[in-house]
Structure 1
Amino acid sequence: MAERTFKLPDIGEGIAEAEIADWLVKVGDIVQEDDLICEVTTDKATVEIPASAGGRVTWLGGEPGETMAIGGDLIRIDTDDAAADDVGREAKAPEEPDAVHSPEPVESPPAPQPAPSRAPQSTAPSMLGARDATGNPLAAPSVRGRAREAGVDLRRVRGTGPAGRILHSDLEDFIAHGAAMQGTGPEPRTATTEIPVTGVRRAIAERMADAKRHIPHFSIIEEVEVEALEELRGRLNDRFGADRGKLTLLPFIIRAVSEAILDHPEINAHFDDEAGIVTRYEALHAGIATQTYQGLMVPVIEHAEALSLWETAAELRRLSDAARARRAGPKELTGSTLSITSLGPLGAIATTPIINRPEVAIVGINKMSVRPVWNGGKFVPRRMMNLSCSFDHRVVDGWVAAEFVAKLKSLLEVPAMLFMEYRDE
């Protein structure tokens, strides 16, 4: 037997550990080179790990939910198995990212197989009478006959007899006292389910808790009239949408943010609170909060300040699709300087978004609605939208934050300013 241990490979710059999200093989399986063997999760992405050698799996290095250091023992494979067609190298890192360092496999003795991962547990205490093999409540024929006469559904009666059997006294007590209270409504729902918080969900939980613990948030909510912006967006889509794709509001928001930070560089920054250093960025690397079936991910549009509206829209589609299809790599999910989140399609009027640490601000977009607006002589209908922006009060003063939000408002209400070389002196 030539049993070899394969290490968890380097899966991205600066990543020291990963959580085992799921095993795609089990002990005893035959794998070939490049077969996917497991999925691991970092605080940014889920990555599939392929095998570099064929053989029979003899040992798995952990259970789903366990955290493993980069370079830790991941899997053991007997490469002498007759079905194997390759030997030698360690489990390959995914093709993303570009640079991967694969240490040589090492000889290791077999280890006992870990216990299988526990599935989510469900407990449903019996509140009503027990059921027989056919699913009917346990009760004597005479009790069933009395229930039919009284028009009582025995599924609603609590049994006090052996194994939850419904007795005559149970039925009569229900007829006398319980029927009026319980009526014919549905059965109470009593089941509970325990779901382990693992993978991306646990990473999100840790990052959100970390941000709230360390950052003294304050939020500003501002009402913005988007009548002119929506008219412009409609005309651009009518004129160019068939060839270039339809524009949503988000590219305009990103464009407005990239203009507003020119006058307020304090907003487009990172704060290293341990070193006591604020780093301001000229470039806008916009993190776009994206909901996936795994949870929240934040793909990054690099140098958003240098993109046209349609280039921004195309990059938004590409990154969102990649995140939802789990194709986004660590490089596409790191490096944001300011994040933007939108709950508008779900109907949120106002939110208080959580800052993506070490950033110092986040811009929230809420739903658009038609509201009456006083124009000096009468109320007129106008399309309105609220901006909800949160800031790190350690390094962003309230006055600066208010000026930044006011600048965003002015750019969105007069969208022609988005296309001018313009900056307040």
Structure 2
Amino acid sequence: MKESQINQAFEYAKARYADLGIDVEKAVEQLDKLSISLHCWQADDVAGFENGDGELTGGIQATGNYPGKARSISELRADIDKAMSLIPGDHRVNIHAFYGDFGGETVDRDQIEPKHFQSWIDWAKEKNYKLDFNCTCFSHEKSADGFTLSHRDPAIRQFWIDHVVQSRKIAEEMGRQLGSECIHNIWIPDGSKDLTVDRLLYRKNLKESLDQIFEYKTNDDYMLDSIECKLFGIGSESYVVGSHEFYMGYGVANNKMITLDSGHFHPTEVISDKISSLLLFAPEIMLHVSRGVRWDSDHVVILNDELQALTQEIIRANALDRVHVGLDYFDASINRIGAYVVGVRATQKALLQALLEPITQLRAYEANGQNFERLALLEEAKSLPWAAVFDYYCLKKGVIAGEAYIADIQQYEKEVTSKR
């Protein structure tokens, strides 16, 4: 796509939106301020660098065997750099605890320290990225029976409590050195494949473990805690300890950020409608944007109805400063860098459409009971020339616009990933 074509299309789009009272330049500026957190585990199929290709457990599966996955920290960083070069704007990288730079040493989860992630911090400084972090409570011998922070054995619970505390310390140091609040997310796989009779016991254990974890006070300028629910998963089809109700109650009672993952609910349930409710009671919300297909929650994000509804709720609630957006999927069946770029660009496109929505007129129609007019304008807004605005944004940020990035990723595969 030629630069002149992009600029010409943008001028038309700008005028078309102006007719509806929408400032396109302002929308582009707002989009540019939105940093999306890229999940490091898409590049290596959630293997981590703790024990090589260890067994993936905890209800997590990366399906497919597409060649060229990252086998080392350097390869994973190179793949993320490549993806970032094809995504407009400045973004974050989300790291799980078992991606530490352990230098060949065996370091158990309860012994990890900021020094094991210093090379990640240095890399982020060099690349002008910010970092987020996650404790890793799966793929470990002490999580083999499906329970961690809610375990019946106090010694195992303590191991995972110590791990999460250490992870929060690492996140705090990341935020301190990078000058940006690092979100530390807590997700655990705890649950049961079949009927459970002691549901209250496990949830009581989880509450007490979290209480102990949060006794270690962190600096909110450097690190923010978030807690993530799940309704069911592989190996926890009948019972999940950390359900939506559990974490919603705990988050509201303890003023904690709540993470909503779009793949962690029932197949017909959506998280877009939960945002306006949670914002009334929780200080902030973390979104893990994914795409559920039947039972599998972790498909590459595309520009579908739910993603658009999700971003619309953020903008309509005027909550850009209270909602954090990250991705969480792992597709091993296609080019992994391509999966990053498709997912992030889809999320950005949805956010841009929401920013360009004629919300003032829509609200006026709704307030006046003009429901036909509201519906008609919502429909017309779908075909407004937002794509021309996104192409312009890419051009403005020095990033390939349109579908031309496909060839660029193919070339990277030919020169780099196919040789792994």
TM-score range, shorter-chain basis? under 0.3
Which is richer in strand? 1
What's the TM-score, normalizing by structure 1?
0.24
Q: Which has the larger radius of gyration?
A: 1
What is the TM-score of this pair, normalised by structure 2? 0.24
More helix by share: 2
Higher relative contact order (CA 8 A, sep 6+): 2
